[in-house]
Structure 1
């Protein structure tokens, strides 16, 4: 078992989640409250939650499995931001900012997954 709070990838995913909650979600119109906004929120916190859940597992294989799910959620969040841009909820500059943040988390997840599967 690992202390997830010591994992750099969890720290970055937590920062991303806070960024989504504080800066991205408020940009959605009220009409999206139960649709894209809700899906974006779930994808965002699912990244960190899967890292937390996986860190509580005893085997590297189990941990890697949860990191795979976190990576899937990161891809989902990436698409939510793309769709939000195309629907003009966010501008290109904000899209590039959040997309860079998401890509950093994805790269960290991929690196850790590769390390665990060595």
Structure 2
């Protein structure tokens, strides 16, 4: 299966697009860079993992994507608290990140039981 066909990649790509659009005008470039990079890291690492040759490499990059979900969810909470992200948007992003994390956890579980590992 190609990564573009996977729901977890499609949803994480859409989340990244939303983050870039919402924060386009944010002047705190340090925060903006960090949160957009963590959001972008999720679909990017899924894609990179699925382009690798071994199941071990695929597992590693999907695991990095899962870690980026936690990083992004934390940054969304901080963004709400400092007033950069409207609470309804930030909470929706955080919930989506946690859903993506669960989806990636399931994918990692299936990869760890793959006979090709």
Partner of 2:47: 52
Q: What corresponds to 2:91 in structure 1?
A: 96
> 1:3-82 alignment to 2 at 5 Å?
3-23=2-22, 25-26=23-24, 28=26, 30=27, 32-33=28-29, 35-82=30-77
Q: Distance in 2 between matches of 1:85 and 1:27?
A: 16
Provide runs of 4+ in structure 1 moved above 4 Å.
Answer: none
Cα displacement (A) at 1:90: 2.1
What CA deviation, in whole Å up to 9, does each residue of 1:67-115 have, x standing for no partner? 0111111111111111111112223322221111111211111110011
Structure 2 gap ranges (5+) = none
The 1-side partners of 2:69 and 2:94 are apart by: 10
> Structure 1 unaligned runs (5+)?
none
Tell me the CA shift for residue 39 of structure 1. Answer: 0.5
Give the conservation status (yes or no) of the 8 Å contact 2:63–2:108: yes
Distance of 2:3 and 2:89 partners within structure 1: 29
**TM-score normalized with structure 2 length:** 0.88
The 8 Å contact of residues 27 and 90 in structure 1, kept in 2 or not, is answered as: no
**What is the aligned residue count?**
113
